[in-house]
């Protein structure tokens, strides 16, 4: 199809009428489809059902003799720290395991810093590469931390901007990063970005929140390589700069996974001392069950290939419909991720909220407008996060057709106005 800008007014009006008819017909179907959140589909969860009968009766003791049914072992059981240490690229001494949500660990890390360090003494800021993950932004809002938007491309955050901001402002104490298959753009941070983050001049208590939620979540034969930021930080003498987070929420069960925080031994000492005021020990049976189920890091990667087989056709469907309906018209761009849970769609400026509203009215619920930016304010009102994991393949076809009609209709209306 020709770019919209090359169409005459009459052609645009004819196209508008055609699209309006399609939209009305679509709405009349009375659909109720939901593409709002990146949740695993039931078939993905089924892959880990074996966990529910583990550990077997009488199997509750670690190799070192710890009785997992009892209190204690605040860092997590040794075999689980070894398994998830390998997953995060750190040694067992550099990782602590938490409950089912890494978000809790991130929240508590910020909360503790606000309560017990200089962070809480004066107003502070976080850098927020955007579009980004809405719940990171919610943590900042919750603690009154000012969010500073920085741009993103397929290699990660705009490092010129980041370096300039951080070097000139000591009140910037943190930065959110989703370094692999970023939410929502799918970007994988390049080695150069990792090195610059590790070495840039910044406040001594500046911390990178390295939320590697999608470390193994590839749609291809193997996960993309990602430079080890803890090692990079150690190499340049900034070992405490990074705190890494992860979980098995989208590997095993989102409601029964294992979360993890990793960093230098000194950083882990800090995490542990806060944790000791919160709990006498984590759910070690769940950790043991995960070790028995996955066995080793190869077991995790083999399992993630089964997830990829379920997710791949869903992502392909989204991309195929976007290309077929929107390709060549100059009205939208979108990402083609090689992993993670999202496709990030950019409409023409000032169209995203309208598209989301129209799609919702026609029975397709999308992530709220602005959600991928701090304070829910997308400065160009153009970003839409598409989450294809949960709906059935057939529903994705239907929903995406509806979304594509809305994008075209909003674009034609904009062009006409
Ligand atoms: N971090 C990112 C980037 C996510 O996209 C998500 C879930 O969508 C989470 C963290 C949530 O992780 P958890 O379930 O471990 O709290």
Question: Ligand 1 pocket test: which of 39, 100, 102 has the largest number of ligand atoms within 8 Å of its C-beta?
Answer: 102
DSSP state of 288: H
Cβ of 183 below 6 Å from ligand 1: yes
Could you give the 3-state DSSP secondary structure of residue 401?
Answer: helix
Supply the CATH number for residue 291's domain.
Answer: 3.40.640.10
- Taking the CA of residue 102 as reference, the ligand 1 atom at the shortest distance is 15
Nearest atom of ligand 1 to the alpha carbon of 178: 3
Find out whether the beta carbon of 38 lies less than 6 Å from any atom of ligand 1. Answer: yes
* In a domain? residue 101: yes
Alpha-carbon dihedral of residues 203, 204, 205, 209, nearest 10 degrees?
Answer: 80
**Residue 260 CB–ligand 1 contact under 6 Å:** no
Q: Do 141 and 230 share a structural domain? A: yes
pLDDT value of residue 37? 85
Of 270, 295, 320, which residue constitutes the final position of a domain?
295
Examine the domain organization and report whether 34 and 178 are in the same domain.
no
CA distance 227 to 75: 25
Pocket test for ligand 1, best of 137, 209, 213 (most atoms within 8 A of CB): 213
CA distances from 239 to 208, 243, 303, 334 (A): 11, 10, 32, 36
Taking the C-alpha atoms of residue 322 and residue 366, their distance in angstroms, rounded to an integer, is 15
pLDDT in tens, 32-77: 999 998 999 999 999 999 999 999 999 999 999 999 999 999 999 9
pLDDT tens for residues 150-169?
999 999 999 999 999 999 99
Please indicate, yes or no, if residue 52 is contained in any of the structural domains.
Answer: no
CA of 333 to the centre of ligand 1 (A): 25
Is there a domain that residue 53 lies in? Answer: no
What is the reported pLDDT for 3? 92
Domain boundary among 233, 261, 295: 295
Whose C-alpha lies nearest to ligand 1, atom 1? 213
Among 103, 89, 104, residue whose Cα is nearest residue 233? 89
For residues 18 and 74, state if they share a domain: no
In this structure, are strands 146-150 and 95-97 parallel, antiparallel, or unpaired? unpaired
Which one of 103, 109, 367 would you pick to mutate in the ligand 1 pocket, going by the greatest count of ligand atoms within 8 A of its CB?
Answer: 103
Q: pTM of this prediction?
A: 0.97
Per-residue pLDDT reduced to its tens digit, 322-355: 999 999 999 999 999 999 999 999 999 999 999 9
- Residue 114 sits in the same domain as residue 207: yes
The number of distinct structural domains making up the chain is 2
Say if 50 falls within a structural domain: no
Contact predicate 154/121, CB 8 Å: no
The response to whether residue 40 sits with its C-beta less than 6 Å from ligand 1 reads no
- Closest-CA residue, ligand 1 atom 11, reads 103
Considering Cα of 153, then 159, then 164, then 169, what sign does the dihedral take?
A: positive
Same domain, 72 and 168: yes
Listed as own residue / partner, the contacts of 51-54 with beta carbons closer than 8 Å and 24 or more positions apart are 51/252, 51/253, 51/256, 51/289, 51/290, 51/293, 54/288, 54/289, 54/292, 54/293
Residue 147 binned pLDDT confidence (cut-offs 50, 70, 90): very high
- Do 242 and 184 share a structural domain? yes
- Which atom in ligand 1 lies closest to the alpha carbon of residue 100? 15
Q: What is the pLDDT of residues 274-303, one digit of tens each?
A: 999 999 999 999 999 999 999 999 999 999
Residues 85 and 160 in one domain: yes
Find out whether the beta carbon of 233 lies less than 6 Å from any atom of ligand 1: no
**Residue 133, ligand 1, Cβ within 6 A:** yes
Ligand 1 atom, smallest distance to 104 CA: 16
Q: Are residues 89 and 208 in the same domain?
A: yes
Stated as kind and residue range, the H or E segment containing 126 is strand 125-129
Does the Cβ of 182 fall within 6 Å of ligand 1? no
Give residue 1's pLDDT band: very low, low, confident or very high (50, 70, 90).
confident
CA atoms of 182 and 199, how far apart (whole Å): 22
* CA torsion, ordered 168, 174, 175, 177, to nearest 10 deg: 150
Tell me whether residue 49 is in a domain. Answer: no
Burial 99-112 (b: 16+ CB within 10 A, else e): bbebbebbbbbbeb
Same domain, 91 and 191: yes
CA 234 – ligand 1 centroid, Å: 26
Domain boundary among 295, 326, 355: 295
Q: Atom 5 of ligand 1 has which residue's CA nearest to it?
A: 183
**Is position 358 within any domain?**
yes
pLDDT band, residue 90 (cuts 50/70/90) = very high
**Statement to judge: residues 80 and 183 lie in one domain:** yes
Ligand 1 atom nearest the C-alpha of 248 is 15
User: Are residues 139 and 20 part of one domain?
Assistant: no
Q: Is 103 in the pocket of ligand 1 (CB under 6 A)?
A: yes
The H-or-E segment that residue 261 falls in is strand 259-262
Q: Does 282 lie in the same domain as 151? A: yes
Query: Are 290 and 258 spatial neighbours (Cβ–Cβ below 8 Å)?
Result: yes
Residue 368: DSSP 8-state: P
> What gap in Å lies between CA 340 and CA 335, rounded to an integer?
12
Atom of ligand 1 nearest to the CA of 39: 8
**In which domain, by residue range, is 23 found?**
4-44+301-416
Residue at 54 is within a domain: no
Give the CATH number for residue 401: 3.90.1150.10
The tokens for 171 are 């009140």
């Amino acid at each position: 199809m020709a770019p919209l800008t090359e169409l005459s007014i009459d052609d645009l009006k004819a196209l508008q009428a055609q699209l309006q008819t399609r939209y009305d017909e679509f709405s009349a179907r009375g659909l109720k489809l939901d593409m709002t959140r990146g949740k695993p589909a039931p078939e993905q969860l089924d892959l880990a059902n074996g966990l529910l009968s583990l550990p077997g009766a009488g199997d509750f003791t670690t190799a070192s003799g710890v009785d997992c049914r009892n209190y204690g072992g605040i860092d997590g059981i040794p075999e689980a720290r070894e398994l998830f240490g390998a997953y995060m690229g750190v040694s067992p001494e550099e990782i602590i395991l938490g409950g089912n949500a890494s978000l809790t660990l991130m929240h508590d890390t910020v909360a503790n810093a606000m309560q017990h360090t200089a962070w809480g003494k004066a107003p502070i800021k976080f850098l927020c590469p955007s579009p980004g993950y809405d719940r990171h932004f919610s943590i900042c809002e919750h603690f009154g931390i000012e969010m500073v938007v920085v741009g993103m491309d397929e290699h990660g955050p705009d490092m010129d901007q980041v370096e300039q901001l951080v070097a000139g402002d000591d009140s910037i104490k943190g930065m959110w990063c989703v370094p692999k298959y970023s939410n929502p753009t799918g970007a994988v941070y390049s080695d150069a970005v990792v090195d610059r983050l590790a070495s840039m001049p910044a406040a001594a208590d500046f911390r990178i929140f390295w939320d590697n939620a999608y470390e193994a979540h590839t749609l291809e034969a193997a996960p993309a390589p990602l430079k080890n930021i803890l090692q990079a930080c150690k190499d340049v003498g900034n070992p405490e700069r990074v705190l890494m987070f992860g979980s098995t929420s989208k590997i095993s069960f989102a409601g029964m996974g294992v979360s993890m925080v990793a960093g230098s031994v000194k950083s882990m000492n800090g995490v542990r001392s806060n944790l000791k005021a919160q709990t006498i020990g984590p759910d070690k049976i769940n950790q043991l069950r995960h070790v028995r189920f996955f066995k080793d890091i190869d077991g995790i990667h083999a399992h993630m290939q089964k997830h990829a087989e379920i997710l791949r056709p869903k992502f392909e469907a989204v991309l195929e419909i976007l290309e077929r309906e929107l390709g060549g018209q100059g009205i939208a761009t979108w990402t083609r991720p090689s992993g993670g849970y999202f496709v990030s769609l950019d409409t023409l400026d000032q169209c995203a909220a309208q598209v989301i509203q129209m799609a919702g009215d026609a029975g397709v619920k999308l992530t709220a407008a602005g959600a991928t930016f701090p304070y829910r304010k997308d400065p160009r009102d153009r970003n839409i996060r598409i989450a294809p994991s949960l709906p059935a393949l057939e529903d994705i076809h239907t929903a995406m057709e509806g979304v594509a009609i809305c994008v075209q209709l909003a674009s034609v209306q904009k062009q006409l106005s």
